[in-house]
């Protein structure tokens, strides 16, 4: 069966279709030993595809995982400095499984992983506005005035950053707890927003990603997504059943 090369690479978990086109344009993709061109089609059963000289497996087993990441793990599959990574919490994964977005080393909670490159790309794209919810403990008492300032937004890297929603769950002179929701995923955004209004984050846990929640999954544990959950995610980002890895 002939399929466009960028779709083949997306199905294999190498990259989104847009990123695959970039790799092809840079000359980093070959088909049967020759540099590939944009728009080329390949036979999944017969053609030999490689990226940076490494063979790409056609149609690997598609994986969609929900991990409850503990604090103290890097969201990467390997670290040259030897620090703990989420790979230590997972075993038996096929090639190309990558985290969907980021979660800080000191943060915990829900993290999705998949080898469906197109789905991973769309789930993290601001265009689709996938809401993520966090429970956050901070130093000091979050007053109504501080909460109002947080909701209005603060400047981070020259841009206004504001949560989609923010609610104080508990407030005390030494410690407060909030629920914060946002759909963006800039680096350490929740921590930086709260620090900008005068509250150092003590603990941060992502409790939901879209309709998915971490409920029932112990810290360090994971579960595969159900077929219904995968279908709902694809529908949410405009993918039909045959548009991604499966």
Average pLDDT over residues 10-17: 80
Residue 209 makes CB contacts below 8 A (sequence gap 6+) with: 100, 110, 112, 130, 132
Averaged over 180-184, what is the pLDDT?
Answer: 91
Stated as kind and residue range, the H or E segment containing 55 is: strand 54-55
Most confident of 51-60, 97-106, 129-138: 129-138
Burial label for 181, CB within 10 Å (0-12, 13-18, 19+), is middle
5 has pLDDT over 60: yes
Catalytic residues: 104
> What pLDDT score does 245 carry?
53
Set out the domains of the chain in order of their start, with CATH numbers: 2-55 (3.10.290.10), 64-127+211-236 (3.30.70.580), 131-209 (3.30.70.1560)
Mean pLDDT of the chain: 91
Confidence of residue 61 (pLDDT cuts 50, 70, 90): confident
The predicted pLDDT at position 243 comes to 59
What's residue 242's pLDDT? Answer: 55
pLDDT at 12: 79
Length of the chain: 246
* Segment 74-108, tens digit of pLDDT: 999 889 999 999 999 998 777 678 899 899 999 99
The answer to whether 47 touches 33, Cβ cutoff 8 Å, is no
Provide the pLDDT for residue 181.
97
Other CB atoms within 10 Å distance of the CB of residue 200: 10
> Nearest Cα to 8, choosing from 38, 46, 49?
49
pLDDT digits (tens, 9 = 90+) for 197-214: 999 999 999 999 999 999
């Amino acid at each position: 069966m002939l399929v466009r090369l960028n779709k083949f690479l997306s199905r294999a978990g190498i990259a989104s279709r847009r990123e695959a086109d970039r790799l092809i344009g840079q000359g980093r993709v070959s088909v049967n030993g020759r540099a590939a061109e944009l728009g080329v089609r390949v036979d999944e059963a017969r053609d030999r595809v490689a990226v940076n000289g490494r063979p790409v497996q056609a149609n690997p087993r598609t994986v969609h995982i929900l991990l409850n990441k503990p604090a103290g793990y890097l969201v990467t599959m390997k670290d040259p400095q030897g620090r703990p990574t989420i790979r230590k919490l997972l075993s038996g994964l096929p090639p190309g499984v990558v985290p969907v977005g980021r979660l800080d080393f000191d943060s915990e909670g829900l993290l999705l992983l998949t080898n469906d490159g197109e789905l991973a790309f769309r789930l993290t794209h601001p265009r689709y506005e996938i809401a993520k919810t966090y429970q956050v403990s901070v130093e000091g008492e979050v007053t109504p005035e501080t909460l109002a300032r947080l909701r209005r937004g603060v400047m981070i890297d020259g841009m206004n950053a504001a949560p989609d929603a923010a609610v104080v769950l508990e407030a005390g002179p030494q410690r407060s707890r909030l629920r914060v929701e946002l759909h963006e995923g800039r680096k350490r955004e929740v921590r930086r927003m709260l620090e900008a209004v005068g509250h150092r984050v003590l603990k941060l846990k992502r409790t939901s990603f879209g309709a998915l929640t971490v409920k029932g999954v112990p810290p360090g544990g994971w579960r595969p997504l159900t077929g219904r959950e995968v279908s709902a995610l694809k529908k949410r980002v405009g993918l039909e059943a045959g548009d991604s890895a499966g």
